[in-house]
Amino acid sequence: MSESCDNTHLKFIKEYVVPKILTQLQGETLLKFELEHASGLDGFMSALYNIKFHTQTADGAKQRLLVAKFMKGDVSFRESSKSYIQFANEIFVYERALPAFAKVLAAAKLDITIDDWVPHPYVAKFGYIEGLSAAPGVRESVLVLEHLKPRGYVLGPRLYLTREHLLPMCRTIGQYHAISYALRLIDPTQLESLKSEIVTLPFINDADPRDAQDNFYRYLYRAAFDRFYDFFDRKIDGNTFDKQNADDLKLIERLRDLRAKYIEEPTRLLEKIRTGVVVNEQDKHFGAILHGDYNRNNVLFRYEAQEAGDTVASKVADVKMIDFQEMRYGSPCLDLSFFMYMNTTEETRDAIWQEMLQTYHTNMFNTLQAAVKGNASVDAAQLATYSFEAFQAHFKRYAFYGVMICLHFLPWMLSSEEECAKISHLFETNLRGEEFHRVSIEIGGDEVNMRLLAVLRHACKMGYMDEL
């Protein structure tokens, strides 16, 4: 990031952000604040700063750590990286969606607040921002949240999660999705209004003449499909597939069907899944305001000590969602299947897959019921459309989304640090080049390909490939 951008951000924090936050700290007097550019935490599209507040309260001195997030890059970079869409949507979540959800929770007197789901937001703005935008019409973004590190929240394991991580993730996202359903039942006009404010983030856009060249999803999933089917063609006549086994025979048939339909443009399958709840009558009531990138790297875990006999072990006590930049309106399965496939081993899937689905649904349905309780316009038949049976049937039609994410992203996560660094660099500098495509196919080798095959085997066995 350039020094001039850094200075602009720091100046804006001092002159605009700090005074804005002070108006929200009732009964506290500012003693001092400290700023630092959190360079080690910067993302591809964002710049991050830590803000430490020191205040005086009636009970004594208090410290509070916040994190401020800004867009990086010039207009060209922001357009090509879809920053304008992603930052607009993330701000929408904090500025519009979560406050609307909070009103539903408060009206129903639920023992849940939005602070149970996300770090507390202090500032959320997108568009022309006085003091930050260089000129009228220049869009900027600023998001200031509570920094959760002082409260013990940390990222989980690098890739695979355990049952104690996965079930709390199911709980939180279930509660979050439930409020979209509650709005559909008690205030559908407001839900439609919120939906209208979401900037569409399609996987493919035939109406845009630049999409074939500029859409990075096309390059990512082109390489992902080429990688897997290169492996498939090399292994089909060996011992990798058991042609005496009915499950493997079905898998081979489904993989060939998948190639025939989508090998030319794999992103069309992603777009079909994304738009399903908009175009398919049987699925429309399951449409929800999503997180969009609900994966272990966008969830913070807090642990607490738990005695187990003569030893003390750490147990996950809470989770918080962060980074809503990929948020969309769509099937809850986009959030669910993503982390359920990306963050589980074959053994974990075999052991707790159904428990994860049940945990999600129990928390979703209980929250939905409580949110609409006493509302005369909601009857049992409407609630029944969100039954576990209905949800499982819906999940079956949309769960392949998580498989698609794995085909692209799992090789990155399972490769060596050197390989991961190399492909990440190529993604940022030469996504359209032959080297990016070659490295995408090679990293991790057949050991990773076997992990991908295990994901596809599971999806096929569960029937998630039956309606593609």
The 3-state secondary structure of 79-121, one letter per residue: HHCCHHHHHHHHHHHHHHHHHHHHHHHHHCCCCCCHHHCCCCE
* Residue with the larger pLDDT of the pair 427 and 273: 273
Residue 407 sits at the vertex; the CA angle it makes with 401 and 410, to the nearest 5 degrees, is 110
Give me the mean pLDDT over the 399-426 stretch.
94
Give me the mean pLDDT over the 370-394 stretch.
95
Token reading at 94: 């904090």
pLDDT for residue 44 is more than 80: no
pLDDT tens digits, one per residue of 107-161: 999 999 999 999 999 999 999 999 999 999 999 999 999 999 999 999 998 889 9
Give me the mean pLDDT over the 15-36 stretch.
93
What is the per-residue pLDDT for 311? 66
By C-alpha distance, which of 330, 342, 336, 338 is closest to 356? 336
Give me the mean pLDDT over the 231-244 stretch.
96
What is the per-residue pLDDT for 310? 64
The 3-state secondary structure of 121-149, one letter per residue: EEEEEEECCCCCCCCCCCCEEEEEEECCH
pLDDT tens digits, one per residue of 175-188: 999 999 999 999 99
pLDDT for residue 1 is more than 60: no
For the ranges 39-48, 53-62, 165-174, 371-380, the lowest mean pLDDT is seen at 39-48
Q: Sorting pLDDT into bands at 50, 70 and 90, what band is 39?
A: low
What pTM did the predictor assign?
Answer: 0.95
CA distance 434 to 347: 36
What is the per-residue pLDDT for 45? 86
Give the N- to C-terminal CA distance of the chain in Å, as an integer: 43
What is the per-residue pLDDT for 374? 87
HSE-up (13 A, CA, CB side) for residue 197 = 19
Average pLDDT over the chain, rounded to whole? 94
Q: Sorting pLDDT into bands at 50, 70 and 90, what band is 219?
A: very high
pLDDT tens digits, one per residue of 61-118: 999 999 999 999 899 889 888 899 999 999 999 999 999 999 999 999 999 999 999 9
Give percent of the chain above pLDDT 70: 97
* Residue with the larger pLDDT of the pair 83 and 312: 83
Q: Sorting pLDDT into bands at 50, 70 and 90, what band is 307?
A: low
pLDDT for residue 40 is more than 80: no
